[in-house]
Amino acid sequence: MVKLFRITSGLIPLAAGLLLIAPANSGRVRLGVEVLIAQNYAPLVGKRVGLITNHTGRTATGESTIDVLAQAPGVKLVALFAPEHGLEGTIEGRPVPAGCEPRTGLPIHSLYGATLRPTDAMLAEVDVLVFDIQDAGVRFYTYITTMAYAMEEAARRKIAFVVLDRPNPLNGLAVQGPMLDPGCSSFVGYFPMPIRHGMTVGELAQMFNAENKISADLTVIPLQGWRRELWFDETGLEWIRPSPNLCSLRGATLYPAIELLRAGGVSVGRGTATPFELSGAPWIRSEELLSYLRSRNIPGVHFEPVHFQPSKDVHAGEVCYGLRLQTTDRSRLDIGWLGVELLAALHKFYPQEFRLEKTLHLLGSTRTLERIRAQDDPREIVAGWEAELEAFKRLRRRYLLYD
């Protein structure tokens, strides 16, 4: 059973039946780590703690969760675990090394290197694993798979697991994109869900735990003041890049659609000032692509022709021609629809250069890929997801924590 520490009417339940008066809501969302502090660390007192975190694990005032738990009375922080991009969030395109955290002297175990899961040796001195990382709200973002793998390993060893919840930056309402095929499961596709799932990491942890029968001893420390309709810039919290190229909420909003193109041989703006707001390649004819996509009347997005020279990643150092994308109404933007329109257009105009088949590992749907290859109308492709998306919405409803 999942244990929840909720704040109701300013009262926080603590151990031994005690109550602590919570400070009045400041008008911003209170993070799970802040709720944990207000609870006097109740789920962790007397325990040896392993912390899965990175640079995004911090309070709204900027104090890192590492420091918070290292100084917490009655809590013994014994190990740190780093996901993709490392503890500082700066590593790109290579494994994360193990090491030692300089301020605390604690060991840093890599969960993105020789192993993607915590091992016996890593967990030997751990009583409870704590997860505190800002997610991007996208199925193929690896932090949620790291969480799930760690939950599985914790469950096998009877180690408790605590999730300090954080907002879904893309809000908790929209559920968009094709469902992941069971046969497409991978590190970028842990669970059969659409590309944009509309859930927080705490909600995902509950769903993974129950539906995949992980049976972890799971506790979720919920947010206070978060509502499902809130985008990140409406939470009162400061944007911290979840990974090196998610520089802004603008880019993060387009990321679930634009990132699909990268494996097919298109630069998505990595190595420029505005990743995921650009897409291009040396072989794209901007005006041709622009004219076609504008004729498709895709809601919530505006296209402009552009050329750029990325300093890294796909087509590094080459002049790329393509499009700049601008979100005009994010409430109307369907990233599944946009993604399929872009994939279909690139396949239509550049079938020799654009490697459509390489996009499957992120797209996650063989049927969708087949229909794009057959040049079916993208609107009809998107309509074909409706039944599966409705079924997923019914499933996820069991695990939602917020209104």
Among 115, 138, 113, 111, CA closest to 51: 111
Looking at the structure, tell me whether residues 42 and 173 fall in a common domain.
Answer: yes
Share in percent of the chain as helix, strand, coil (round to 5): 30, 20, 50
What pLDDT sits at residue 72?
98
Looking at the structure, tell me whether residues 123 and 169 fall in a common domain.
Answer: yes
Q: Give the total number of structural domains in the chain.
A: 2
Looking at the structure, tell me whether residues 21 and 87 fall in a common domain.
Answer: yes
Looking at the structure, tell me whether residues 240 and 255 fall in a common domain.
Answer: no
Among 173, 363, 159, 157, CA closest to 264: 363
Among 385, 391, 399, CA closest to 176: 385
171, two tokens: 């809000």
What pLDDT sits at residue 370?
98
pLDDT higher than 70, residue 25: no
- Provide the pLDDT confidence category of residue 27 given band limits of 50, 70 and 90: confident
Looking at the structure, tell me whether residues 61 and 156 fall in a common domain.
Answer: yes
> What phi-psi label fits residue 85: left (phi over 0), alpha (psi between -120 and 50 degrees) or beta?
left
Looking at the structure, tell me whether residues 341 and 380 fall in a common domain.
Answer: yes
130-185, pLDDT tens digit by residue?
Answer: 999 999 999 999 999 999 999 999 999 999 999 999 999 999 999 999 999 999 99
pLDDT higher than 50, residue 267: yes
Is 403 inside a domain boundary?
no
Dihedral (CA of 119, 121, 122, 123) sign: positive
Looking at the structure, tell me whether residues 228 and 335 fall in a common domain.
Answer: no
Domain that includes residue 205, residue range: 3-244+393-397
Structural element, H or E, at residue 146 = helix 143-156
Structural element, H or E, at residue 257 = helix 249-258
Is 360 inside a domain boundary?
yes
What pLDDT sits at residue 9?
30
Is 298 inside a domain boundary?
yes
Cβ count within 10 A of residue 350: 20
Structural element, H or E, at residue 163 = strand 160-164
Mean pLDDT score of the chain, rounded to an integer? 94
What pLDDT sits at residue 63?
98
74-101, pLDDT tens digit by residue?
Answer: 999 999 999 999 999 999 999 999 999 9
- Provide the pLDDT confidence category of residue 68 given band limits of 50, 70 and 90: very high
Looking at the structure, tell me whether residues 213 and 139 fall in a common domain.
Answer: yes
What pLDDT sits at residue 2?
60
Beta strands 3-4 and 218-221, pairing class: parallel
Q: How far is CA 234 from the centre of its chain?
A: 18
Is 121 inside a domain boundary?
yes
* Residue in the block written with tokens 């095929």: 181
274-333, pLDDT tens digit by residue?
Answer: 999 999 999 999 999 999 999 999 999 999 999 999 999 999 999 999 999 999 999 999
Looking at the structure, tell me whether residues 226 and 264 fall in a common domain.
Answer: no
358-384, pLDDT tens digit by residue?
Answer: 999 999 999 999 999 999 999 999 999
Is 101 inside a domain boundary?
yes
What's the whole-model pTM score? 0.94
Give the span between the Cα atoms of 286 and 216, in whole angstroms.
Answer: 51
Is 218 inside a domain boundary?
yes
pLDDT higher than 80, residue 3: no
Looking at the structure, tell me whether residues 257 and 182 fall in a common domain.
Answer: no
The CATH number of the domain holding residue 302 is 3.90.1150.140
Q: Which residues pair with 323 in a beta bridge?
A: 279, 305
Give the span between the Cα atoms of 82 and 76, in whole angstroms.
Answer: 18
Structural element, H or E, at residue 52 = strand 48-53
111 and 118 Cβ atoms separated by less than 8 Å: yes
Looking at the structure, tell me whether residues 260 and 211 fall in a common domain.
Answer: no
The CATH number of the domain holding residue 194 is 3.40.50.12170
Give the span between the Cα atoms of 83 and 56, in whole angstroms.
Answer: 11
What pLDDT sits at residue 128?
98
Looking at the structure, tell me whether residues 59 and 158 fall in a common domain.
Answer: yes
Is 342 inside a domain boundary?
yes
Among 403, 348, 400, 399, CA closest to 373: 348
pLDDT higher than 90, residue 26: no
355, two tokens: 């490697």
Is 10 inside a domain boundary?
yes
